[in-house]
């Protein structure tokens, strides 16, 4: 495998992003200390003293998905926690295992292969895209410790352009996960007194779909880096498959603590994103979350994002508003909100402000 070497004076953004070596490529050069461009400012690191080991987010058994009590637990978890895990959701374990394995295979590829999928400008409409997250002004950009490949799952996207290492596994997962996500959205809408998803609601709730595969390589200085900074997803909902490494933390709605999302074999995590919090006028909560990294183990995670279509106008559903209920959000064009979210990168909950009245 031919790998360009990283030397201390090299331009790290060039090495990691432009040449597509990724953070994995950096680690593979037997790096002992992380470069300064990967050191997060204090407020973006995970403060271990703020981890609450007593609490955990709810786990919901979907064996009897149509039971009223199951629907109630989903709606309650979305209001109280904004983040929960689901088990017995019907997706075969092999489909999940094959997907994680495919992720490893892709990120193992040499940079010369991976560079075909990377571009320097982030665009929402691509069929496939490898990208990195360097946040900050020009010379002060700080890199998150993660390599990501995004598979666009929309009619205009072409899965033939996806890497052969991930194509079939992502397609198979998509086949199982999309109806599951739709059913979850239906239950969530029912809790808002909005009828089931008909043709007019589908573009609003799941008009844009994407499956990312994240690889978080082992990190020599995990306490000063971060895999993903604290953020709220811009989506309606996100379904997340994680491996057994751990490292995903969610912030309590009240207080300052972080709770670990303990990996459960075969489970998926589900979280409410900003778009559904806005549509629900705050009934459902989009919760801050972040990913820490580990010095020994790499980690794979696979989020499926269900987003509004770019031309959707998002705002509180009129039919759910109670008499005299105060509107927290105005109606905004989703593509404007998306642009704001990814260009301004507002931190955590501040990412909702754009739509606030």
For ligand OGA, give the closer residue by CB, 118 or 301.
301
Distance CA 278, CA 262 (A): 28
For ligand OGA, give the closer residue by CB, 214 or 312.
214
**Considering only 172-180, 194-202, 227-235, 348-356, which stretch makes contact with Ni ion by CB under 5 A?**
227-235
If one asks whether residue 27 binds ligand OGA (CB under 6 A), the answer comes out as no
φ and ψ at 240, to 5 degrees?
A: -125, 125
Distance CA 337, CA 351 (A): 9
- In angstroms, the Cα distances linking 168 to 60, 90, 93, 241 are 29, 19, 16, 17
Out of 133, 169, 242, 312, the only residue in the binding site for ligand OGA (CB under 6 A) is 242
Out of 126, 233, 243, 288, the only residue in the binding site for ligand OGA (CB under 6 A) is 233
If one asks whether residue 355 binds ligand OGA (CB under 6 A), the answer comes out as no
Q: Are the C-beta atoms of residues 176 and 91 closer than 8 Å to each other?
A: yes
- In the shown chain, the binding pattern of residues 63 to 102 toward ligand OGA, with x for contact by CB under 6 A and - for none, equals ----------------------------------------
Out of 126, 147, 233, 288, the only residue in the binding site for Ni ion (CB under 5 A) is 233
Which residues contact residue 113 at a Cβ distance below 8 angstroms, ignoring those fewer than 6 apart? none
Q: Is 348 left (phi over 0), alpha (psi -120 to 50) or beta?
A: left
If one asks whether residue 144 binds ligand OGA (CB under 6 A), the answer comes out as no
If one asks whether residue 298 binds ligand OGA (CB under 6 A), the answer comes out as no
Any alpha helices (H) in the chain, and if so which ranges? 12-13, 22-27, 68-80, 93-108, 111-114, 167-190, 202-206, 274-279, 334-344
Contacts with Ni ion, residue ranges (CB under 5 A): 233
Contacts with ligand OGA, residue ranges (CB under 6 A): 212, 214, 228, 233, 240, 242, 248, 289, 291, 301, 303
């Amino acid at each position: 495998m031919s790998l360009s070497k990283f030397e201390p004076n090299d331009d790290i953004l060039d090495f990691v992003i432009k040449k597509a070596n990724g953070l994995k490529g950096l680690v593979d050069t037997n790096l002992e200390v992380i470069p300064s461009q990967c050191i997060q400012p204090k407020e973006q690191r995970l403060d271990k003293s703020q981890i609450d080991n007593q609490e955990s987010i709810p786990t919901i058994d979907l064996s009897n998905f149509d039971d009223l009590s199951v629907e109630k637990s989903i709606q309650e978890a979305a209001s109280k926690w904004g983040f929960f895990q689901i088990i017995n959701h019907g997706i075969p374990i092999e489909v999940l295992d094959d997907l994680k394995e495919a992720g490893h295979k892709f990120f193992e590829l040499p940079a010369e292969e991976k560079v075909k999928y990377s571009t320097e400008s982030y665009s929402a409409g691509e069929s496939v895209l490898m990208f990195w997250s360097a946040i900050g002004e020009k010379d002060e950009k700080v890199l998150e410790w993660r390599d990501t490949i995004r598979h666009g799952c929309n009619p205009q996207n072409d899965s033939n352009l996806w890497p052969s290492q991930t194509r079939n596994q992502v397609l198979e997962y998509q086949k199982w996960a999309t109806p599951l996500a739709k059913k979850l959205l239906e239950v969530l809408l029912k809790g808002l007194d909005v009828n089931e998803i008909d043709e007019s609601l589908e573009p609003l709730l799941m008009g844009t779909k994407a499956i990312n595969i994240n690889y978080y390589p082992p990190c020599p200085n995990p306490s000063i880096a971060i895999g993903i900074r604290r953020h709220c997803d811009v989506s309606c909902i996100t379904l997340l498959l994680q491996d057994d490494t751990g490292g995903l933390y969610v912030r309590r709605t009240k207080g300052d603590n972080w709770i670990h999302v303990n990996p459960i074999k075969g489970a998926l995590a589900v979280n409410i994103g900003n778009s559904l919090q806005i549509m629900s006028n705050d009934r459902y909560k989009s919760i801050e979350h972040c990913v820490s990294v580990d010095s020994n183990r790499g980690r794979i995670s696979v989020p499926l994002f269900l987003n509004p279509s770019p031309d959707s106008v998002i705002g509180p559903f009129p039919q759910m508003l109670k008499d005299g209920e105060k509107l927290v959000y105005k109606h905004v064009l989703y593509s404007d909100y998306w642009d704001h979210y990814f260009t301004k990168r507002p931190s955590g909950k501040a990412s909702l402000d754009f739509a606030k009245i």
